[in-house]
Amino acid sequence: MKARAKAAPPVRRDRGLAVWAGGLAAGFILLLTFGSVVAVLSRAEGGLTLGAGDWAAIRFTVLQAALSAALSVGLAVPVARALARRRFAGRAVLVTLMGAPFILPVIVAVLGLVMVFGRAGWVSHLLALFGLAPVNIYGLHGVVIAHVFFNLPLATRLILQGWLAIPAERFRLAATLGMGPGDIARHLGRPMLRATLPGAFMVIFLICTTSFAVALALGGGPRATTVELAIYQAFRFDFDLSRAALLALIQLAISGAAALLALWVAVPQATGAGLDRTVERWDAATPGLRLLDGGLIALAALFLLLPLLAVALRGLPELASLPAPVWAAAWRSLWVAGLSVVLALTLAMAMTLAITRLRHRPALSRGVEVTGYLAVAVSPLVIGTGLFLILFPLVDPVALALPVTALVNAVMALPFALRALVPAAAEVESRFGPLADSLGMTGLNRLRRLTLPRLRRPLGFAAALTGALSMGDLGVIALFADPDGATLPLLLFRYMGSYRMETAAGVALLLLGLSLLIFWCLDRGGRVNADL
């Protein structure tokens, strides 16, 4: 081995560059996350203490996040399997639409859920026809339902990517060996899930740890106090910056531990190479399985699409009469989303390459990866306040409102981008790495001819997710914005605050439409000529 390494110095140099770029990206994120917490801490007076209420908030946060992640992933397994082995008209549209809850602004999603599952919602009306009592969604189960609504689509997509990464040759082989659905699950499904599930669980767990508005509204009261709400209280009720920063650090510690655990549990998949042929599933052709899969897809679609339909129906009459500032804000939001995509993909690619190249040093590789997941676990309030404190002495933060929002949105989307890219990049390396090495394909050449083309699908998905998330997220703009510089979500929020619920509903529909359009275009862009 030594001799080979000596014989190919360009390879080493090239790897060094990727590692440096990835390390730089990771360092930047560490600076952003811990820097903002430290900035808040630097303005704190008084000691670091937590009350009994804070500990209760920490317990509830971990409980609801773990339940939400487990249920989202658990339900996503059969739904993804059904989607992976069925072909039907409108499947691509359904897959995109089912991803929409994930990109909805929180306040819109809560109202959509309430319109369908609330006391006066569609489901309760239906139950009343049969003389049954209305459903009660308020409580821990409500929090979990809402988080599953948000995250089931993400979990489904991540597992679906896993199914699609299994070479078609495997299924052909399975068919010639006469394997049934049970054998396929054992020999192909299970190893793939073993590699995919921990990561999916972890990402969803992380998102749910910073939940606040959803948890409170559907949790039914202060029993559903999360760490993020405790941070709010420390910040605006007591102006106790040290407690706010301490709680943010605890949030980070919980998330860091969860991320490390997930990476440690996950077993990288070794499927071997295939020829990228279309998968045909002979195993699932029985009527019983067809019915099962059809039923599962229909149920998931109903659960995810009905609240979206409610939001759309409410906004439709208003769409034609939206005031002029809405269109200006829409343009601003598109601009922010575009910048977010560029930033997120740059960071994610640098980190992905570093993670892949550092495989022989697992501790370092995992370190870089965990860093990428951390940002999503920082309290949005603390990161916004910290950035404000860092920028304020230097420049006018208001002037930087849009770029800063784009940057924070990009970093928040990084975990999803990494989840999509890292497994795919690892597979490219294991399948084509030795061949590329022996051809002396290095540096930009290797990136352009091998890595990027092979990563086109996950890159498209990552870009789509980042763009749509950035579109719909309020982000830190609320802390920075001037009156004429609002993005679409901020405008929506302001309209609701001035009683304009109808106009806000119109804005919500526009936002949903634009997010979906971005998602569709970028996701499709990554799948030209591909069969999904």
Task: List residues binding another protein (CB under 8 A).
Answer: 43, 53, 56, 107, 110-111, 114-115, 118-121, 138, 212-213, 216-223, 229, 232-233, 235-237, 239, 323, 325, 385, 388-389, 392-393, 396, 398, 478-479, 481-483, 490-491, 493-501, 504
What is the nearest approach in angstroms of another protein to the Cβ of residue 49?
16
The residue (of 178 and 484) whose beta carbon lies closer to another protein is 484
Cα distances (angstroms) measured from residue 463 to each of 113, 169, 290, 414, 527 = 27, 29, 33, 10, 12
CA dihedral sign of residues 469, 303, 127, 223: negative
What is the nearest approach in angstroms of another protein to the Cβ of residue 46?
14
The residue (of 208 and 266) whose beta carbon lies closer to another protein is 208
The residue (of 130 and 237) whose beta carbon lies closer to another protein is 237
| Residue 454, amino acid | R
- DSSP single-letter state for residue 377: G
**What span, in angstroms and rounded, lies between the C-alpha atoms of 65 and 501?**
31
The residue (of 130 and 499) whose beta carbon lies closer to another protein is 499
Taking a C-beta distance cutoff of 8 angstroms, is the pair 329, 488 a contact?
yes
**What span, in angstroms and rounded, lies between the C-alpha atoms of 433 and 516?**
36
Token duo for residue 217: 């509204």
What is the nearest approach in angstroms of another protein to the Cβ of residue 218?
7
**What span, in angstroms and rounded, lies between the C-alpha atoms of 137 and 16?**
53
The residue (of 102 and 232) whose beta carbon lies closer to another protein is 232
Taking a C-beta distance cutoff of 8 angstroms, is the pair 423, 269 a contact?
yes
Mark residue 45 as left, alpha or beta (left: phi above 0; alpha: psi -120 to 50; beta: remaining): beta
Which of 103, 17, 122 has its CA nearest to residue 473?
103
What is the nearest approach in angstroms of another protein to the Cβ of residue 154?
23
Taking a C-beta distance cutoff of 8 angstroms, is the pair 405, 336 a contact?
yes
What is the nearest approach in angstroms of another protein to the Cβ of residue 258?
25
**What span, in angstroms and rounded, lies between the C-alpha atoms of 435 and 452?**
16
Which of 303, 295, 297 has its CA nearest to residue 100?
303
For the chain, the maximum distance between any two Cα atoms, rounded to a whole number of angstroms, is: 80
The residue (of 217 and 351) whose beta carbon lies closer to another protein is 217
What is the nearest approach in angstroms of another protein to the Cβ of residue 486?
9
What is the nearest approach in angstroms of another protein to the Cβ of residue 404?
15
What is the nearest approach in angstroms of another protein to the Cβ of residue 493?
7
The residue (of 48 and 120) whose beta carbon lies closer to another protein is 120
Q: What is the 3-state secondary structure (H, E, C) of 280-293?
A: CCHHHCCHHHHHHH
The residue (of 239 and 264) whose beta carbon lies closer to another protein is 239
